[in-house]
Amino acid sequence: MRFGRYSVEVVKCAAQVRRLCDNCKNVTDHALVDEPCGLSFGLPFSKRPLWSTHRAYGLVCPICTWAVEISKDEAQALIRKGQSQ
């Protein structure tokens, strides 16, 4: 059992969002990422847990890696949009 942060990974099947980065002010295609958060169960030294209480989703700038958190509903909409393409 562990409480903390795990590695952030890009959701490969999700559509990218073209937007202005709040940090570097470049207009780029931001990728959707997810991060397991909260109470989680996993193997020691693993990158990802086997189970966690919730996930945080965000859009990451490919230039400066600044992330903006988005809701689960917005993330699921991007995943559905990416799968339909």
Find residue 67's DSSP bridge partners: 60
Q: What is the pTM of this model?
A: 0.81
Alpha-carbon span 52 to 3, nearest angstrom: 9
Mean per-residue pLDDT over the chain, rounded: 86
Identify the weakest region by mean pLDDT among 15-19, 40-44, 80-84.
40-44
55-68 confidence digits (pLDDT tens): 889 999 999 999 99
pLDDT of residue 6: 64
Hey, where are the domains in the chain?
2-84
23-46 confidence digits (pLDDT tens): 999 999 999 999 888 787 777 777
Find residue 10's DSSP bridge partners: 33
